């Protein structure tokens, strides 16, 4: 699991930061799950080593333009590029009529097919390897945060131990590796006895836009990585409360309360650009004073989520 930030600005793009988009690359599956799709996201793909053709799912937090204005353009480019597989889109109420109106009035057709799902709190997707859940956050419009959880996997299978036990190679090895119990010649063999320690699944949480809220803590509980907005510096908290955005310290408090391993802050107001009294290093320092394992994202910043040991 690898995260690439394609946009880290709040509200409007700047010379160095595009608006919100985060790509979660599932390397073993050759898939990209995109979180938000601000204006110009497809251009950011072209400037990275990510491939648009690998996008399989898109998760939208809310209907503000800096999170959705790039969605129609990206999908249209997928169509022109002969994208082979259906793209699944998840988002709040409004996402389906918005896209259908865009398609209607721009006369756009998606040959690869698009499945649009309006999310509700709880589990919204599950397969053999991953679950995705969402909860409402606290913003000016209906907004959801997302949590991706990789399922635990059995540890490495000990082939030599199986051979010594007299178990012949073949389908039985697959059953044991999956943790099943088998019976062979009257003997019972338990799968976990032939596997190393269980590989704990990784967890990724994405919370933007929101002021501090309990649901953000719940989504981030015990996560390996929390990506959380930090639009404002601590001294600008009155503005954060007015606009229902987070400060650096709010993001850090969520990470601390949730017990996450790593906090990555993003969605920064352009007011903290170079030359202004408060700059990025100050925002990072504020967050680290509460949660030391904090880094600030920048466009094309990449973070590989390590496996737990």
Domain that holds residue 124: 2-153+199-304
My answer on whether 221 and 243 are in the same domain is yes
pTM, entire model: 0.90
pLDDT at position 183 is 93
Under 8 Å between Cβ of 12 and 271: no
Q: Helix 71-80 to helix 95-106 angle, to the nearest 10 degrees?
A: 50
Domain CATH code at residue 261: 3.60.15.10
Instruction: State the chain's mean pLDDT as an integer.
Output: 94
Whether the per-residue pLDDT at 309 is higher than 70: the answer is no
Q: What is the pLDDT of residues 136-195, one digit of tens each?
A: 999 999 999 999 999 998 888 899 999 999 999 999 998 998 888 999 999 999 988 998
Are the C-beta atoms of residues 84 and 112 closer than 8 Å to each other?
A: yes
State the total domains in the chain: 2
Whether 309 is covered by a domain: the verdict is: no
- Asked if 86 and 165 sit in the same domain, the reply is no
* pLDDT value of position 82: 56
- 89 close to 116: Cβ distance less than 8 angstroms: yes
309: Cβ contacts below 8 Å, ≥ 6 apart: none
Q: Which of 66, 209, 224, 299 is catalytic?
A: 66
Does residue 131 sit within a domain? yes
pLDDT of residue 84: 59
Residue 236 known to be catalytic: no
For residues 32 and 120, membership in a common domain is answered with: yes
**Mean pLDDT (whole number) for 242-257:** 98
- What is the DSSP code string of 6-70? EE-BSSS--SS--BSEEEEEEGGGTEEEEE---TTHHHHHHHSS--GGGEEEEE-----HHHHTT
Transcribe 60-88 into DSSP letters: -----HHHHTTHHHHHHHHHHTT--S-EE
Judge whether 246 lies within some domain: yes
The verdict on 114 and 214 lying in the same domain is: yes
Residue 110 domain flag? yes
Query: Burial level of 86, CB count in 10 A (0-12/13-18/19+)?
Result: exposed
Distance from C-alpha of 186 to C-alpha of 284, rounded to nearest angstrom: 62
Is residue 273 located within the same domain as residue 166?
no
């Amino acid at each position: 699991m690898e995260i690439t930030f394609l946009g880290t600005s709040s509200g409007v793009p700047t010379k160095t930061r595009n608006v919100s988009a985060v790509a979660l690359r599932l390397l073993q599956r050759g898939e990209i799950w995109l979180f938000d799709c601000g204006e110009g996201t497809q251009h950011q793909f072209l400037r990275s080593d990510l491939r648009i053709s690998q996008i399989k799912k898109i998760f939208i937090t809310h209907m503000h333009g800096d999170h959705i204005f790039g969605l129609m353009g990206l999908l249209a480019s997928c169509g022109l590029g002969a994208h082979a597989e259906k793209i699944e889109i998840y988002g709040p109420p409004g996402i389906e009529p918005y896209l259908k109106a865009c398609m209607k009035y721009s006369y756009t057709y998606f040959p690869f097919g698009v499945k649009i799902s309006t999310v509700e709190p709880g589990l919204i997707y599950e397969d053999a390897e991953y679950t995705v859940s969402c909860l409402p956050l606290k913003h000016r419009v209906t907004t959801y945060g997302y949590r991706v959880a990789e399922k635990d996997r059995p540890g490495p299978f000990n082939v030599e131990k199986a051979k010594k036990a007299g178990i012949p190679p073949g389908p039985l090895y697959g059953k044991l590796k999956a943790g099943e119990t088998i019976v062979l010649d009257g003997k019972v063999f338990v799968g976990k006895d032939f596997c190393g320690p269980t590989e704990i699944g990784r967890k990724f949480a994405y919370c933007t836009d929101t002021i501090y809220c309990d649901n953000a803590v719940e989504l981030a509980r015990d996560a390996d990585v929390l990506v959380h907005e930090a639009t404002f510096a601590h001294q600008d908290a009155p503005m954060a409360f007015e606009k229902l955005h987070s400060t650096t310290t709010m993001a850090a408090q969520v990470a601390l309360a949730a017990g996450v391993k790593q906090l990555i802050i993003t969605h920064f107001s352009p007011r903290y650009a170079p030359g202004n009294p408060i700059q990025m290093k100050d925002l990072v320092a504020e967050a680290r004073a509460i949660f030391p394992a904090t880094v600030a994202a920048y466009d094309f910043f990449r973070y590989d989520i390590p496996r737990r040991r």
